[in-house]
Amino acid sequence: MTKRHELTPAAPWVELTVDQDDWDAADPQVLLQLLGRAQWIRSFEEYVLELANQGLVHGPAHSSVGQEGGAVGSVLPLRSDDFVNGSHRGHHQFLAKAFGHVLEAKSTGLPEITTEVREVLHRTLAEICGLADGYCRGRGGSMHLQWREAGAMGTNAIVGGGVPQAAGFAWNMLHSGSDAVSVTYFGDGAVNIGSVLETFNLAAAWKLPVMFFIENNQYAVSTPVAKATGEPRLSGRGAGFGIPSWRVDGMDALAVHTAMTEAVDHMRAGKGPTILEADLYRFFHQNGAFPGSAFGYRDKEEEASWRARDPIAQLRRQVVGRGLATEADIDAMTDAIDTTMQEIGDQLLEPVPGGKPRERRIIGSLWPDTDFVDVGVRGDLSELEGSRFEDEDTFAGELAQRRFIDVVSDVMARRMETDDRIVVMGEDVDGLKGGTNGATKKPLELFPDRVLGTPISENAFAGLGGGMALDGRFRPVVEFMYADFMWVAADQLFNQVAKARHMFGGDSSVPFVLRSKLAAGTGYGSQHSMDPAGILTTAPGLRVVAPSTPFDYVGLMNTALTCDDPVVVLEHVDLYTSTGPGPVDDLDYLLPVGKAAVRRTGEDLTVISYLTMVNHCLEALDQVDVSADLIDLRWLDRASLDWETIEASVRKTNQVLIVEQGAVGTSYGGWLADEIQRRLFDWLDAPVERVTGAEASPSISKVLERAAIARTDEVVDALRRIAQA
């Protein structure tokens, strides 16, 4: 007979409420701080909406009016060394964290607007208006607010995009000996996104001190929660991952504060992640100062019922009811913040000459200088100063024929020996005696605690690595088993890691290394065989290296691990079993950024290539009577390309052939050919020629796979065609 047994989740899931006895017993200073900070945020947001209505905020103004109770209730138990991030609607959490950082504890009375509080308000408003005085120098605007000193790691415009990064901060906290915690705020829309759920799983598996704070404001733009999920109690997700979860009335600041205090205690005790769902309501539409009913997806009765539960009105009643402050005291505090906002606005705005009454504009001198537009896309490489740079012709150490994959393993182990901040992570890197190809063999032998096998969740562990890098206490080395998997984690790689330094003002280092292999020709088919160089190098924040010899791999990886920019290290599986000159025991030299290698010299043609195609070019040149320079690029990204070497060769030969293995559609050579013709047109006697793979991705069929990629034969054909022209 069929039997059924009731199962219970491994982690508790509770709904927490408070009653009047709790309000009466609450610490008076907690209530006063909750009220004061919530009112400051409300007045700030109302002033932002006023400016937006006047056309003075360029871009969206996602206000948090109505949601202040969740922000102040959750941030008040945090310290400055705890970190938070949030979504596009993040003014309230950012301000709450910043206020907590600058305010000194008081024994009595409502909080007062100090010089430091005024500066927070000024710089936050300046950032929302896109001005140079903002926390991100105007680049972040309303949706990207970061203040590292206050523990604000940066809000995020991609729904759910910042969640994996918060786990990275939490990893760093846990492994640096701190009991600090990380809190990531996101909404009901983000809770169904893959990267969020992946991060739930990873955080639970690794017991990271990160809270997932779900602001359930009932609508993702206009879509109600009940239409987006079968379980509208969003904290129910926690049970599936073994994460303790709380559900509270987010309009009740004391309830949020009580649940948050319990959750923070849980995390500080080393018990792993938590989830807190706060049911609350944004009083206005997704963007701007109109209610949702104006757009037809909410009705006025619903809006009125939520407004009747205004968290600030509740705090005010309780504070007055307990005699902690009078109505006049609270009115005076509100007047003070409203006056402060008007004064700050007067510092940023001026009347429009000849304009309408009260028409204003941003004071011109406060805008960022337009010369600042590209500053901080990447760093200045000053971190490499004093390093020992070598090339094969200057290297004084012992060289021998080394297997490529052995130096991959050896140099990583050496760097982990000299820098205990380096942590390697990826799928199966901690198994199979060194991963699927042996790249982590020696690191695993020597530093098993810093070689982290991850769940299959590229978004989560790439984003976690991005958060680790932004925090800076550790240097993550993330491995994607195949380059194609980058597109699974495209948001974290392209929207997050690549843009972070520039987006947050240009000063934030992002010491992130991504290793990934290219596997065309191995029979793994269309989804495991691509060359991503052509797409990776469209992201200006990424540096991209492509080592073709054991000697180069050591020097380039050492440079990547010293650089404070994100670096993608491309490796070709064909090279792993190959041998070539490599260091026997000196693994400490670097190769300079932006320096190519000339593998062969000639007079008639400049051949440019990278990775395994360099060897195919050498084989082809041995078969065809063509006198050619062969340039191995090493560095592929726009900022690091060695134009000095390319230009010297083109001026000599007046002809160029670019050789790559992968598909023509995602070609790296297409951009490079265009740039060569723009820069060096006067020295070219013919259009730039190219060798690429076919249009299609490689297939499983051996013959179709061979037809889809370029190797020696295709280079030979191109050389003969050029020679006969």
The residues annotated as belonging to the active site are 528
- Phi, psi for residue 685 in degrees, rounded to 5: -95, -5
> Which of 459, 457, 455 has its CA nearest to residue 492?
459
Q: Is 643 helix (H, G, I), strand (E, B) or coil?
A: helix
In contact, 518 and 571? CB cutoff 8 Å: yes
In contact, 95 and 36? CB cutoff 8 Å: no
Strands 360-362 and 349-351: antiparallel
Return d(Cα 484, Cα 488) in angstroms, integer: 8
In contact, 202 and 241? CB cutoff 8 Å: no
DSSP string, 160-199: TTTHHHHHHHHHHHHHTT----EEEEEETTGGGSHHHHHH
Token readout for 516 is 């990934």
Token readout for 202 is 């990873």
585: exposed, middle or buried (C-beta count within 10 Å: 0-12, 13-18, 19+)?
Answer: exposed
> Which of 613, 610, 609, 572 has its CA nearest to residue 710?
613
In contact, 367 and 132? CB cutoff 8 Å: yes
Q: 149: how many CB neighbours lie within 10 A of its CB?
A: 9
> Which of 564, 511, 540, 501 has its CA nearest to residue 137?
501
Return d(Cα 276, Cα 75) in angstroms, integer: 13
Q: Quote the DSSP letter at residue 368.
A: P
In contact, 474 and 421? CB cutoff 8 Å: yes
Return d(Cα 661, Cα 668) in angstroms, integer: 10
Q: How far, CA to CA in Å, does 678 sit from each of 299, 649, 653, 671? A: 59, 16, 17, 11
DSSP string, 320-368: HHTTSS-HHHHHHHHHHHHHHHHHHHHHHEEEPTT--TT-EEE-GGGSP
Q: Is 159 helix (H, G, I), strand (E, B) or coil?
A: coil
Return d(Cα 211, Cα 192) in angstroms, integer: 17
Strand extents, DSSP E, 280-395: 349-351, 360-362
Return d(Cα 490, Cα 485) in angstroms, integer: 9
Return d(Cα 532, Cα 376) in angstroms, integer: 24
In contact, 452 and 443? CB cutoff 8 Å: no
Return d(Cα 386, Cα 111) in angstroms, integer: 50
Residue 409 one-letter amino acid: S
